[in-house]
Amino acid sequence: MSLLCRLEEIAEPGGRGFRIGSAGETRAIFVVRQRGRVVAYENSCPHLGSPLDWIPDRFLDLERRHILCATHGALFRIADGLCLAGPCAGKGLTPVPIRIEAGGIYLGDDF
């Protein structure tokens, strides 16, 4: 079980990106916190596979209601990663299993 960060290190609402894995092979993921709920996804837009954030840790739209792909403007529902608008409408972000324990956000064992 790998600790990603402490819960209080992510704004409410807000997000934070991470690179996980070994030096030879890493994967980009991000965690979003909103209304007491915490979810994680791979940092890859289903349209072209580009990262969602242009500025590190900026994953939400201006209203902080949706995840935003900074490259194409696609909007994703935070709860399940479904694309609501943009070039990949109807597709979804790839979820990443996480657990919250004792104020820490941990990467799931099966990732």
For the segment 56-77, what is each residue's pLDDT rounded down to a tens digit?
Answer: 999 999 999 999 999 999 999 9
* Architecture of the domain spanning 2-107: 3-layer Sandwich (2.102)
CA–CA distances in Å: residue 111 to residues 8, 74, 96: 23, 26, 7
Number of neighbours of residue 99 by Cβ within 10 angstroms:
12
Q: pLDDT-based confidence at 1, cuts 50/70/90? A: confident
Q: What value, to the nearest 5°, has the Cα angle with vertex 52 and ends 16 and 104?
A: 20
| Domain ranges across the chain | 2-107
For residue 67, give the 3-state DSSP assignment.
Answer: strand
End-to-end, the C-alpha distance of the chain in Å comes to: 10
Q: What is the pLDDT of residue 21?
A: 85
Burial track 24-53 (b if 16+ CB lie within 10 A, e otherwise): eeeebbbbbbbeeebbbbbbbbbbeeebbb
Per-residue pLDDT at 23? 72
Residue 78 has pLDDT above 90, yes or no: yes
Supply the pLDDT for residue 110.
72
pLDDT-derived band at 109, boundaries 50, 70, 90 = confident
With a cut of 80, say whether residue 98 has pLDDT above it.
yes
pLDDT surpassing 80 at residue 12: yes
> Residue 47 is encoded by which pair of tokens?
């349209």
Residue 15 confidence (pLDDT): 97
Cα gap 23→12, rounded to integer Å: 31
